[in-house]
Structure 1
Amino acid sequence: MEYIILLRGVTPSGKNAIPKMAYLVEILTEAGFEKVRTYIQSGNILLDSPLPVEEIRHLVHRLIKDQIGADLKMVIKTKRDLEKMADENPFIEKHYLYDRVHVILYQNSIQNLPLEKLLPDYGGEEICIGHHCLYLYLPRTAKRKKLNTNYLEKLFGVDLTMRKLKVIEKLLSK
C-alpha cells in the first residue's frame, strides 16, 4: 500500500534537521520500504509498504532518530486519504486565495478531537471542520496567525501537522 508520511518539525539545521532528503530515502530503502521518494525538504515522504501504519511509524521514527538524530512527530496517511482531503476543500470560492488554504492532519479521525474547543471567530482567519482534516484559510493580512499547529496541538492535546493544500495536491501527483 502507498503511504504518505508527513513529518512534523523538520528544520534546516539544529536538532530536528534532516540534512539531505536523499539520505533519508537511502535509509528507508535499505530498511525494506519500496518506491521511497520525498517532496521538498520539509519532510514529506512517499513509500510503499505492506506493514500496518503503527509499525511503519515505529520503524521510520527509530531509523530517523538513530541514523540522523532527529526526534520527529509524524502523521501517516494513504494516498486515498489525501485524495479525500483535496476533494473536500471548502475554500474553493473565488475570493479565497488557493495558496492560503492549509490542512491540519491528525493520525486518527479528525472527528475524534474535542472540536467544541474551537472558537467561533478567529478574526480574518477561518477554520472549517472536514470529514478527514481541518481546513484553514490564513490570509496574508493576518500579522500573527492564531490558527497554527502549536495552538491547535495545545488546544486538543494531540500531535498534529499542517500542510498547504497545494502541497497535498502535489504529493498526490508524485
Structure 2
Amino acid sequence: MDRWTENEFQRVARTTRISTRTLDACKDVLVDGMSNMAAAAKHKMFAPQISRAVTTLREKQAEQMKFASIRKESDEMMQYIASEVARHLFGQEFETTLAQPGCSYEGPVVVQSKGYLVQKVGRGGVLHNVAAFDNLPQLQQTLRIDYDAKGNLTGIAQVNPQEKSAKDLGR
C-alpha cells in the first residue's frame, strides 16, 4: 500500500464529510503508514470505522485523479462542468444525460456553459452541445429541441408554458 503525502491527504479530506477525529485516524493510516488496528487503538475507535473511511478517501482520490486526467478543454470536461452547475442549482440528485439521436426534449434552458447547455426536462436535465446551435437560446427560455436519427439538431421551437398547460387541460 503506497503512502500519501500530507498535501494529497488534505486535498482529498476536504471533499468529504468525515469527522475530524476519523480523519486524524485515517491520516495515521494513509500518511504515516500505521495499521488500522493501531490507529483504532490510538484514537479509541473501531477498526472497521477507520477502514470504511479509508475506503471512502481512496474512492475520492480515484475520482479526483480521473477528472485531473481529462484535459481542461475536452468534451467530457465541458459536459462535467455543465452537469455540476446544474447539480448546484437543483441539488445533487439532479441527473443530466446527453441528448440522444431521434429524440425531442421540451423544457426551460437552465444552464449555459462554454460547451454545453442544460435543458430541464422533467426531474432531470439534458445536455445539448452548443456547437449545434446557430443562435444560443436564452436562459429560462422554454424550448422544444428535436434531433434526427443521426443525432443532428433538426428543430428548435419556443414553447409558451401557459399555452402548453391550457392545451394539456383540454381547453
Q: Same fold (TM over 0.5)?
A: no
Structure having the higher Rg: 2
Give me the TM-score of the superposition, normalised by structure 1. 0.20
Higher helix share: 2
Structure number with greater CO (CA < 8 Å, separation at least 6) is 1
